[in-house]
Amino acid sequence: MADQFVDLRSDTVTRPTAGMREAMATAEVGDDVYGEDPTVNALEAEVAALFGHEAALFAPSGSMANQIALQLLVSPGDELLCDADAHVVTYEIGAAAAYGGISSRTWPAVGADIDPEAVAGMIRPDGFFAVPTRAIAVEQTHNRGGGGVIPLSTLRDLRAVADDADVALHCDGARIWHAHVADGVPLIEYGRLFDTLSVCLSKGLGAPVGSLVVGSADKIERARLIRKRMGGGMRQAGILAAAGRYALAHHVDRLADDHAKASRLAEAVAPFGVLATTVRTNLVALDLTKHALDARALAAVARAEGVLISVLGPRTARLVTHLGVSDADIDHAVEALPRILTAS
């Protein structure tokens, strides 16, 4: 049994810091279903302004925020386009179909390397016999795509594609903060390119709970009803919103540290037959196609050495850095992982 543990499975495993807990404990609260929670209202206004939109809505999870946005943009029976690895069609348990009646069609999994022309070629306009495309969703940063950052120029081209075809553009921005820190693109620049965004406070930013849907005032008014219908109306949610406000004030710039730590991990495993994608942010995807160990086996041996990693597929594993991972933790992982990979 290892005496040192580092949890690299996900950036969702963080625990609130002392400062965050203090902010939560002292938060002013009210009944948010009545619109009377001052801390939730302040968070929603703050996040809307960050992205240059009129309004935002606090939701319990990134999945619910995504699904509310998709229901705003795509009517039952109509179509969403996204990539085959997108969180909205991979990890949300069929919610777009189950709750929104939404038909989804995907382009091949290419992570952040999207070809706007290829996406344009997939759009089906209104007409007889074809399911009409109503929205395109992209993921910034891309989770299964090794934390890849979609370049601003690609997003601008996609916006032009969406405008030409009169379809909407949604951003699953669970880790858009990481893209902002990695590429130095202001959040407002990202915001103005999308009809709706979902952004998460509970991933790299380290809040225990919470995501927001961002959009125009009329969309967010409808979003409030959809959230209630889905059971996401919360009462004294200011305790959670306070954690989110604290995270926005204290945990955005520090993401650069997480990115540097992720690069150290990628460099450590690269010489041992593991194809790590170019690491830009806090996610490191390991392609074990050419390695003797498959992802489950690697995860099991690594766990015994005190390094917890995620299994994303038979030969795909993932390492994630976050605010709960110290330099000493990375030292431990960069010592243990090459040793494990060479021994097998």
Ligand X SMILES: Cc1ncc(COP(=O)(O)O)c(C=O)c1O
Residues that bind ligand X (CB under 6 A): 12, 61-63, 66, 87, 139, 143, 172, 174, 200, 202-203, 211
- Judged by DSSP in three states, 98 sits in helix
Is-contact 74 132, C-beta < 8 A? Answer: no
Which are the contacts of 48, defined by CB distance < 8 A and separation ≥ 6? Answer: 54, 55, 56, 214
Tell me how far, at minimum, the Cβ of 139 lies from ligand X, in Å.
5
Taking the least distance from each CB to ligand X, the nearer of 268 and 320 is 320
Strands 307-308 and 283-287, bridge-based pairing: unpaired
Please count the CA atoms within 13 angstroms of the CA of 259 that sit on its side-chain side.
21
Which residue's CB atom is positioned nearest to ligand X? 62
Distance CA 204, CA 198 (A): 14
- Judged by DSSP in three states, 103 sits in strand
Tell me how far, at minimum, the Cβ of 323 lies from ligand X, in Å.
16
Taking the least distance from each CB to ligand X, the nearer of 61 and 103 is 61
Tell me how far, at minimum, the Cβ of 77 lies from ligand X, in Å.
24
Taking the least distance from each CB to ligand X, the nearer of 62 and 215 is 62
In DSSP notation, 155-173 reads HHHHHHHHHHHT-EEEEEE
Taking the least distance from each CB to ligand X, the nearer of 111 and 301 is 111
Tell me how far, at minimum, the Cβ of 46 lies from ligand X, in Å.
19
Distance CA 95, CA 91 (A): 9
Taking the least distance from each CB to ligand X, the nearer of 216 and 310 is 310
In DSSP notation, 231-247 reads T---SSTHHHHHHHHHH
Tell me how far, at minimum, the Cβ of 273 lies from ligand X, in Å.
27
Distance CA 299, CA 307 (A): 8
Tell me how far, at minimum, the Cβ of 65 lies from ligand X, in Å.
8
Taking the least distance from each CB to ligand X, the nearer of 57 and 340 is 57
Q: What is the dihedral of CA 240, 245, 246, 250, to 10 degrees?
A: 140
Tell me how far, at minimum, the Cβ of 209 lies from ligand X, in Å.
8
Taking the least distance from each CB to ligand X, the nearer of 134 and 203 is 203
